Chain A
Amino acid sequence: MAKFKSGNKSGLSRRHVLQLGAGVASAAFIPGLGTIGWAYADDKPPIGTWPAGSEGDTVYLGAAVPLTGTYAAQGADELKGWELAVDHINEGHELMKKFAPKIDKGLLGKKVKLLSADSAAKPNTALRVAQTFINDNKIIMMTGSTSSAVAVAMNKFAEREKILYLAGISGSNDTTGKDCVRYGFRQNFFGQTAAAAIGPVLVKNFGKNRKAAFMTPDYTYGHTVTKSVNDYLKEHAGWEMVTNQVSPLGTQDFSQYLTNIANSGAEFIVNVNWGRDAVLSTQQAKQFGLLPQMKLVIPYQIPFLAKEVGADITEGVFAATDFWWTLEDKYPLSKMFVEAFQEKYGYRPEWGAENSYVSFAHWARMVSEAGSFYPPDVIKQFEKGETIPSLIGDVHYRPEDHQCVRPVVIVRGKAQKDMKNDEDFWEVLEVVPGEGLMQAPDAFGCKLGDYT
């Protein structure tokens, strides 16, 4: 609509437009004149919100984050991670400088401001929020999602609008798989890497030929994580999926699903549900006596799960995650992050906040290294695939699918008596290097789009 209006304002008649089009088309075929087109591209024509979004003394970033609904608690945590990262960029904080050495109390001489609004983990709402930020503030980068349904929708929106999108929490293989885009990047672990990391641990601890019931939320995250975990366990150890209970997002009463599991002969419950769905399904599995009779496995860790369901349920449970705060004992950057976060917010960060912080820090690095906010420049900086820090060791982004190759952390729930403080729910068993967990770049059908 905006383009249509600007076309009218220019006062060009249809005849003029046709003449101009014919002229441009002819020029392209005349030898020697091709350089004219090249010079024009090299001049960085306006794209997305560039350059308008970075002409003032402040650049705006927009986050559509779930603050209500099933993923509200996790959304609030990840928002804090973004806020802290933006504070650190503007302060030129020591930790942020470890990621982006060229920042200096801002980014390329400009202050960074984060705008945020509730997405309720709904794709339509998230897109509406992002569009409002674009219209009102000309945001130069978008983030948000605690649901891969949102991440996938935002990916496509980013590609259309030519504005960078950094996925928030998104566990679906599709985000950097079949729904990948040139303008989208993901820092965190996902279904495939979670399965490849936790699979061997399960096989080592529980052996081969076991029977597992899966609980799967009915959208892209749930289906891809369940498939990856089931494929791994089936192919490598002959585990059988005896039932897969697919529930809609926001289910409150899981009794029907749990009854089916009770009658399935399963020995394990692999709970892929997330957010409040995971809390309720796990609590109710205990009420029905399925836990601890069956072993619980959490292939894609849920921030605050242990706090909400209690250590008596998570004791001995294996989970794969992006980060756990006790890694501060091993990694200096983790220690700096946990301390800064706890000082500001009064609790130790969960992995949602870690992902937010690190993804913003990586973006700040790419912008500062590229020396430009021009989106294709920043994308190409990411695509160099250089080795950069994370809170738990070095990582890099794959140019083929824009997925960060990063470690996956395997944890096991502690018994109440072994907890050293009221947030000491998990024991880190292993930090599995990312390289060996990744699928081939084209395995999930990723085809990145154009730069411009």
Chain B
Amino acid sequence: MVNWANFISQCFNGLVLGALLALISSGLTIIYGTLGVLNLAHGAMFMLGGYAGWLAYTYSDSFIIAVIVGSVFVMLVGVVMERLIIRHFYSRPHEDQLLVTFGLGIVFVEGVRFFFGSLSKMTPPPAMFQGITNLGFMFYPTYRLAALGIVAIALLALYIVLYRTRIGMIVRAGIEDAVMVDSLGIDVYKIFMLVFGIGAMAAGFAGIVNAPVVSIAPDMGEAILVQTFVVVVIGGVGSFPGAILGGLIAGEIISITSMFNPGYSYVMLFVAMTLVLVLRPYGLLGSAGRE
């Protein structure tokens, strides 16, 4: 028999987890949609954000400074990565792109492990968000509620940039047809660099926001990378709204399944992905033929 209090609680958990997955996946999907590069170092960006934020917090004692420093740092890492390495792989086979981003991910993870060790680090939530809130149907960590709001604002900001600005229009056009954008006289490489930076920043930002929830460790990006791939496949490659929808669906599947049998949470997630691939190969909100 379904315990309704538990069911509502799990739906809420799914919403919080889904929002986080949506933010990370949106970064991954706009990079892939625009540049055609599947960034296997995206999980490492999530981790780098967490560490940069933690380091900034250690020196400043300010969560806001941690978020700003962490986000800007990861964006810069993304930009430098694109300019120095990724750029040389646009015309090379997808296998090479996968290998180079996979390798970069290992370098980032082991670099962090070298300097900070394997023991996890905790960034405390801001004082105003500490404690527990009574939602009526359950007690919920206040910071997780705040994180939901912060991630929602970040997604809204990303939406405005993508759908309400000229840059965003060019990026979306690039997703549809980069060659055409280039032939219209727009420096598409500059746009690529910017997109890579923004995509990395989305993961890095999520890494910092998530740091008070899940203490950081060098390998933290590994598991989340797999989940974000599933989200992107479900939502549709290159689709920003698809990443949000996919994130929320993934979050709810994981949470609600765990109510019945936690061991099947991820099984059900992959079942959902398989169903989407069979019934709608280009994802729920993706476009057929997009590469």
Contacts and interface: CB of A to CB of B under 8 A. Distances in A.
Interface stretch (B27-35, B189-197, B209-217, B274-282): B209-217
Nearest to A279: B120
Contact of B213 (A76, A287, A289, A307): A287
B255 interface: yes
Given A255-B17, A260-B262, A72 B219 contact: yes
A253 B220 CA distance: 11
Size band of the interface chain A makes with B:
20 to 34
B172 interface: no
A64 to B, nearest CB: 17
Interface residues of B, number: 42
A283 B215 contact: yes
Contacts of A279: 120, 215
Interface in A294-342: 304, 307-308
B54 to A, nearest CB: 14
Contact of A307 (B118, B119, B254): B119
B80 to A, nearest CB: 25
A255 B16 contact: yes
Contacts of A247: 262
A68 B258 CA distance: 27
B115 interface: no
A70 B139 CA distance: 28
A406 to B, nearest CB: 27
Given A68-B109, A250-B223, A252-B220, A287 B144 contact: yes
A280 B219 contact: no
Contacts of A255: 13, 16-17, 144, 255
A263 B213 contact: no
A259 B6 contact: yes
Interface in B1-59: 3, 5-6, 9-10, 13, 16-17
Contacts of A69: 219, 222
B9 A259 contact: yes
B143 interface: yes
Given A72-B118, A250-B223, A262 B9 contact: yes
B103 interface: no
B210 to A, nearest CB: 9
A418 interface: no
B117 to A, nearest CB: 7
B215 A245 contact: no
Interface in A187-229: 218
Contacts of B224: 252
A261 B119 CA distance: 27
B13 A259 contact: yes
Given A250-B222, A256-B259, A287-B143, A263 B215 contact: no
22 contacts: A68-B218, A69-B219, A73-B117, A73-B118, A76-B117, A76-B118, A245-B262, A248-B263, A248-B266, A250-B222, A253-B17, A255-B16, A255-B144, A256-B255, A259-B6, A262-B9, A280-B120, A283-B215, A284-B214, A287-B143, A287-B144, A288-B140
Interface of B: 3, 5-6, 9-10, 13, 16-17, 109-110, 113, 117-120, 122, 132, 138-141, 143-144, 213-215, 217-220, 222-224, 254-255, 258-259, 261-263, 265-266
